[in-house]
Chains A and B, each alone.
Chain A
Amino acid sequence: MKKKNRLIVRTVILAIVFIAVGYTFYTNFFANESGIVQAGDQAPNFILTDLEGNEVELEDYRGKGVFLNFWATYCEPCKDEMPAMDKKYKEYKDKGVEILAVNVSEPKLTAESFVDRYKLSFPVLLDKSNDVTNHYGVGPIPVTFLIDKDGQVIRKTQASLSEEVIDDYMKQIQP
């Protein structure tokens, strides 16, 4: 009896310690920081204005794939992927894939003249106060979220993308 009780007590104490330590390790090393959007999550809705002053709401794009890109003019890798994005945008626009390029809190003028210079045709949204950028937990840019027709994030990437990769990604979210 005594022997059995001792084993139970030991097991319970060890279990409590292991669970507590395990949870701490999980939150510290494995779990997403709260508020960071990852693959598998539902993409949080947002409303931003584009360069023409129209309000754009993410939820209005349900049924379409959304290639959600965060960029700025001071970010060279962001600039590098822009021409390829524009090319693929023209190709996939009619196949139900939309690009939304969120400019990370730069003045409208800076974004606008950049878009003119690069002759970009996809909508560029202005995140004046970094609100959406922070909401999506975007740190260093460029960051691209691939959102499928149901509004689910199927991939998050933090690299400057080549034309082939963009093509492959567009296929993945094509409805």
Chain B
Amino acid sequence: MSDKNITCECGHINPYGTEICEVCGKPLQGDSESNKLLNMRYEGSARRSQTYKTTIIDKIWNFFSSVKVGIWIIVLLLVASAVGTIFPQEMYIPPLSDPTVYYEEQYGILGQLYFDLGFHNLYGSWWYMLLIAALGLSLIVASLDRFVPLYRALKKQRVVRHESFMKRQKYFGITELVNNKAELSTVKEVLQKKRYNVKEEDGHLFAEKNRFSRWGPYVNHIGLILFLIGGMLRFFPGMYVDEVLWLREGETEKIKGTEEAYYLQSDGFILETYDNNDAKFKDAIEASGQEAVAKNYQTDAVLYKQVGERIAGTDPELEKIKEHPIQVNKPLKFDGYAIYQVDYKLNELQSMTFTMDNKETDKPVGELTVNLYNPEKEYELNDGYRVEVMDYFPDFEFNDKGEPTTKSKVPNNPAFILNMISPEHPDGEVAFVAIKQNLEPLGENDYKMSFQNVDTKNVSGLVVRKDNTLWILAIGGAIFMIGVIQGMYWNHRRIWVLRKDNEIWLACHTNKNWYGLKRELESVTDQTGLHMPLDQSEQK
């Protein structure tokens, strides 16, 4: 045992730093004759050991044990979180914009500064996460450092308290009596009716209730720590998936985030609107000011599971699991994953149909349909007519050097260089064909390509979700609330009754709601003739 421990006159050895003896309640710090009210916070227990500051572990521990440090961490987190909302975070800026220029373009010099300081990715930054981690550590350390000594002090408290402990409570009063024995038994009865746990020792009384309310803050902190652990688990493999999946009608795609185990096929995307002529909806639709009001967004999906091993680049062997229409709020659920309907693109170009016309007669000599995702090299028409595709640009533009090129692989603006072969021109005539464009780069042709129509497909925007941390967040949240309720709706109330010669000393304490305690005390004094203790904090 450390020689710095404090031995009280009652014989109990208190840890260094104790302000009020754990057992008898004698004030150990400062002048014991003083009449100043006692600070009852944490029962005057030694909440932070000052003794063991030698090792680095103790230094770290003591740093995080400080409430002052904890509050600073919270303030920094609040300020940082607020700063993160000044401009949109990177994930919320338009998908194709370049963040290096977007912030400056939109928000000027401040936006540039915001980007340079890395605030566009604030909530995922190392220093923000470090602050969260520091908050978690502060919660654990500060709670442990307060809970353990408080628990000890409340467990060890005795019925009889030191005189100066009694005198220095907020409510304290002395009653002189002739026959005190009878009075005390009435006090005991009244308090027991009020659900106090009353202990008697040599004619002295100690009544206590709702001690568990003191544990509320610590229970609450356990909930918070679980919550933080839940947040942390998102970064552990297999715990959390949030991926976007664009799926074209008729196509089968690997489902991202499922470790390549699952594939999804779209049998069609449906956008239904309410009937504008239906009497039931007519007024509401007109009132909305929109031409049409959506009723249903739906992807008819088929889920497949991959069978066996597969080498990248080869076609997978798929086993059908189920068909499911994915609607808003009606996700496709499987194996812990859920696929939600979140977006769509209608009428994306899929194929184009042309005819090859004789310019002179203005009659078509044949027709061809070109798949814009995978055009053929050659389209055979009738009677010696043929069209060769010499080049294809799905998203046509001229580049800096003036060459024809494609901006992307999506057929937003398809363009072809075609060679039209006819009996008159066995080597062909070259035509450049794009939307609303028909050029003859190598001179006048006898034949031309005429655009007939397009075939389009819809694309579903889906989100793949998996969150294995929800249960721990739910438990954390529930424990958090239990802690709040426990600490807020009950008060820890204690009443000490000391028989001293022909006097009865009465003192009491509560951690909150003094008014409630006073009322309970009044019902005791009303029925016994004891004097109501006075609020000493008001007597100055």
Contacts and interface: CB of A to CB of B under 8 A. Distances in A.
B375 A47 contact: no
Interface in B361-406: 373-377, 389-395, 399, 405-406
Interface of A: 2-3, 6-7, 10-11, 13-14, 17, 20-21, 23-25, 27-29, 34, 44-48, 57, 72-74, 76, 104-110, 112-113, 117, 127, 129, 131-132, 134-135
A28 B144 CA distance: 29
Contacts of B390: 113
Interface string B48-80: 010110010110110000000000000000000
B374 A107 contact: yes
A3 B52 contact: yes
A47 B315 CA distance: 10
A132 B314 CA distance: 9
A137 to B, nearest CB: 11
A113 B235 contact: no
A14 B57 contact: yes
A47 to B, nearest CB: 5
A72 B52 contact: no
B237 A132 contact: no
Contact of A10 (B58, B126, B407, B408): B58
A153 to B, nearest CB: 14
B238 to A, nearest CB: 9
A7 B55 contact: yes
Interface of B: 1-2, 49, 51-52, 55, 57-58, 60-61, 124, 126, 129, 133, 136-137, 140-141, 144, 229, 232, 235-237, 253-254, 311-314, 373-377, 389-395, 399, 405-409
B55 to A, nearest CB: 7
A107 B373 contact: yes
Contacts of A6: 49, 52
B57 A10 contact: yes
A127 B60 CA distance: 54
5 contacts: A3-B52, A11-B57, A47-B314, A109-B391, A110-B394
Contact of A74 (B133, B229, B406): B406
B58 A47 contact: no
Given A10-B57, A73-B406, A107 B375 contact: yes
A18 B199 CA distance: 46
Contacts of B395: 74
A131 B312 contact: yes
Nearest to A17: B137
Given A17-B136, A24-B235, A74 B58 contact: no
A14 B126 contact: no
Contacts of A47: 311-314
B405 A74 contact: yes
A33 B501 CA distance: 79
Contacts of B253: 129
Nearest to B144: A13
A96 to B, nearest CB: 23
A129 B260 CA distance: 14
A121 B141 CA distance: 67
Contacts of B407: 74
B1 A2 contact: yes
A135 B312 contact: yes
A48 B399 contact: no
Contacts of A129: 253-254
Contacts of A105: 409
A11 B406 CA distance: 61
Given A3-B51, A135-B312, 17 more contacts: A10-B57, A10-B61, A13-B144, A17-B133, A23-B236, A29-B126, A45-B311, A73-B405, A74-B406, A74-B409, A107-B374, A109-B389, A110-B391, A113-B391, A127-B313, A134-B254, A135-B313
B254 to A, nearest CB: 7
A105 B410 CA distance: 10
A74 B52 contact: no
Given A17-B136, A109-B389, A48 B57 contact: no
Q: Which of B129, B232, B235, B394 has the most CB of A within 10 A?
A: B235
A21 B140 CA distance: 14
Task: List the 5 shortest-distance A-B pairs measured between CB atoms, nearest first.
Answer: A46-B312, A46-B313, A135-B312, A113-B391, A21-B133
A109 B312 CA distance: 23
B394 A45 contact: no
B317 to A, nearest CB: 14
A131 B313 contact: yes
Contacts of B254: 129, 131, 134
A104 B313 CA distance: 12
B377 A109 contact: yes
Contacts of A113: 390-392
Contacts of A34: 237
A46 B311 CA distance: 5
Nearest to A56: B313
A125 to B, nearest CB: 8
Nearest to A22: B133
B126 A74 contact: no
